[in-house]
Amino acid sequence: MRKIILTSLCPLPALLLLMVVACSNKNGDGDLYWTDPPTAADTLYQNPLFEPDLADPSFVRASDGWFYAYGTQNTWAQGIERITPIVRSKNLVKWEYVADAFTQASKPSWHDGGIWAPQIVLNTDNGFYYLYYSNSKWGDSNPGVGVARSQYPYGPFEDMGKVLDAQSSGVPNSIDQFYIQIGSGRTKHSYLFWGSYAGIWGQEISSDMKTLTGEKFKIAGNGFEGTYIYPKDGKFWYFGSNGNCCEGPNSQYRLSVAVADNIRGPYKTKDGKDIIDNGQEGTPFLQGSSAVGWVGPGHNAEIVRDDRGRYFILYHAISFSDPWLMNNPNGATRRPLMMDEIIWGNDGWPAIENGTPSSTRKTAPYFE
């Protein structure tokens, strides 16, 4: 029997629906699909994308066609502790909670800290999803980076243990890791970058996704955390967060950018200054404004190019009027998931409209 599958958000006229049902009884096989043009709900979006919180986000487009995003461990509401929350979306606009990457029983135990700043990586060689994470407390003397893996983007994730910590790496505040693979064949190299306000460092990492090789090298000074590097047009664009992430409505967290011809640097600002110098930020890219209602934007996720050639960046920010989880000024800063379009200018440099988070309806990314 033929099935009628309605994919439109708008109801079909009653007479047309009757005609379709009548026709469906004349043939014995196949499905009949109805599709209508997308509505405004599919083509527009408005920040925030997901609440109450998805701090330090990372996302991947999984083999099932969904986008999965991951955030820092936080207590969303009384009695609801999320240990690396996972949310998913078909279009980067409408998100739904799926699961936590870890339970209290499976949470990494090699260090007694919170699971912060996750980064999800799909290894196309073996099909596994690798979840890098920081394991740290505020003021931690020996924080570190670990990795877990799963066959599925929604978990369960099995911890593979520590990759590095401050003592083993010689880098204070060894958190906020970023994995990247570049090249192909004999020129393929994988790197792990890390660091938070004590210099940004990088080192090659082996195909087991855990073992560091070679010597570490420094690419940025003491003004950065939340490293993200985006290869484009033969260059490497460094996006780093500056300032304090978690001071509620007073947060001055912000994003700046620098560029290099080699992944190892030097990374320089638009006016040629090297960000390896302590105190030297990148070229301003995104900063908050109480006038638009959002402050403290930063620790961006991956950049994605949609199927019409537009670029979008996901990040977290703080609502100026509603800045605290559980409305508790003595607790955690609330950092919902945000998105804005990147425009690459005639000079080749990336920018966001007005340099601030958008607070009005915008054209959504398009994916086939």
Q: How confident is the model at residue 20 (pLDDT cuts 50, 70, 90)?
A: very low
| CATH level 3 topology of 44-363 | Tachylectin-2; Chain A (2.115.10)
**Which helix (DSSP H) or strand (DSSP E) does residue 24 occupy?**
helix 14-24
Name beta bridge partners: 182.
189
Domain ranges of the chain: 1-37, 44-363
Which pairs from 157-160 meet CB under 8 Å and 24+ separation?
157/84, 157/101, 157/102, 157/106, 157/129, 157/131, 158/106, 159/102, 159/106, 159/108, 159/109, 159/110, 160/209, 160/210
Segment among 15-29, 98-112, 348-362 with least mean pLDDT: 15-29
- Output the pLDDT for position 10: 40
Q: What is each CA distance from 150 to 47, 61, 113, 217, in whole angstroms?
A: 31, 15, 22, 30
- Output the pLDDT for position 293: 98
For residue 241, pLDDT beyond 70: yes
299-321 residue pLDDT tens: 999 999 999 999 999 999 999 99
Arithmetic mean of pLDDT over the chain: 91
Q: Please state the separation of Cα 63 from the chain's center in Å.
A: 18
Global confidence as pTM: 0.89
For residue 29, pLDDT beyond 50: no
89-136 residue pLDDT tens: 999 999 999 999 999 999 999 999 999 999 999 999 999 999 999 999
- In sequence order, the 6+-apart residues with CB closer than 8 A to the CB of 26 are none
For residue 341, pLDDT beyond 50: yes
